[in-house]
Structure 1
Amino acid sequence: MIKTIALVIVAALALLLIYAATRPDSFRVERSTRIQAPPEKIYALIHDLKGFNRWNPYEKKDPAIKGQYSAVTAGPGARYGWESDKVGVGSMEITEVAAPSRVAMKLDFVKPFEAHNQVEFRLRPEGGATQVSWAMQGPSPFVSKLIGVFISMDRMIGQDFEDGLANLKSLAEQH
């Protein structure tokens, strides 16, 4: 009887690992919102990392976060690194900008797991307001695929993006 139970457990585990291996090799999460402010005002809150951290949902998750800015805080080459017990350890760097419509970043995590992702913000004027999208994409190594069987990356990160965009909207719409 114990041998049968062990075989069933091993077979179930093997099926789980095989299923995880068939998952996509990359991921993409994107959220957007409409903000009643001109693109220039919103762009200023994204392309300058000090402005970015005024609404960044991850900064708000841990008031004790230890952050360090590079000498340049805005535009290409601007960097920000952080250490936190709640949101991990990592850094971001602005890699490309097209004022006032696009900001691209490289996002590197060290803890709780290593990951190297690309982030993009797009701003599109729409009749007196601005449509803002926040997207992140990157590779999904096997461990990420396995975790993804149980936890939706889109739901987990997507909720943070929704919170961040709500913070950005609130800040940008202040007069």
Structure 2
Amino acid sequence: MDQRGYAPSMARFEIVRTADIAAPRERVHALVDDFHDWSRWSPWEDVDPALRRSYSGADRGVGARYGWEGNRQAGRGSMEILESTPERIRIDLRFEKPIKARHELEHGFADHPDGTRVTWTMRGENRGLHALFWRLFPMERELGKQFEQGLAKLRAAAEG
């Protein structure tokens, strides 16, 4: 694993980014635990101004589901919260278009002297053309930047 948290192994990947947020853990956790709040901080919410969103299942926490469909860049997919504790939230992430893929997201929350340390992780495996594409255009660099943008927006939402 390199200093940025990237562990290459065939088509398997793991991307990790961390940020310290000057807000109580409960406030930061709540912004991730409720998909309705993702529009305030997710780096992908601005990709398509006409993005269609759907919410189902629980209002927040385990069983909450979020679906989206938009332009080619936004694509179509869904997420479901599988686990929600004060220390972490695990999410099943599924893309349907433009390429089918399934990954796991995890947001970790730890007390920090200035508030909360958030660790955002994505794990998965790329196959077929998707694996080839990400070998040519490293996923760590591209998605890592987006995670950093999302964590900065999460910081602004939690501290604001």
Scaled by the length of structure 2, the TM-score of the pair is 0.90
User: Where do 5+ consecutive residues of structure 2 fail to align?
Assistant: 1-8
**1:1-175 matched pairs, under 5 angstroms:** 24-85=10-71, 86-99=73-86, 101-174=87-160
The structure number with the bigger radius of gyration is: 1
Find the aligned partners of 2:90 and 2:131 in 1 and give their Cα distance.
25
> SS in structure 2 opposite 1:60?
coil
- Post-superposition offset of 1:149: 2.5
> SS in structure 1 opposite 2:46?
helix
> SS in structure 2 opposite 1:40?
helix
> SS in structure 2 opposite 1:130?
strand
Q: Identity percentage over the alignment?
A: 38
Structure 1 residue identity aligned to 2:25: P
Is the contact between residue 22 and residue 159 of structure 2 (CA under 8 Å) also seen in structure 1?
Answer: yes
Q: 1:113 to 1:126 in 2, by over 3 A?
A: same
The answer for the alignment partner of 1:3 in structure 2 is none
Structure 2 residue identity aligned to 1:119: L
Structure 2 residue identity aligned to 1:50: H
C-alpha deviations, 1:108-158, integer Å up to 9, x for none?
000010000000000111113111011101112132331123101011111
- Post-superposition offset of 1:36: 0.4
Find the aligned partners of 1:45 and 1:96 in 2 and give their Cα distance.
15
Is the contact between residue 109 and residue 118 of structure 2 (CA under 8 Å) also seen in structure 1?
Answer: yes
Find the aligned partners of 1:53 and 1:78 in 2 and give their Cα distance.
15
Find the aligned partners of 1:118 and 1:105 in 2 and give their Cα distance.
6
The answer for the alignment partner of 2:5 in structure 1 is none
Structure 1 residue identity aligned to 2:82: T
C-alpha deviations, 1:7-58, integer Å up to 9, x for none?
xxxxxxxxxxxxxxxx613111111111001100100101111122321111
Two-structure CA RMSD over aligned residues (Å): 1.2
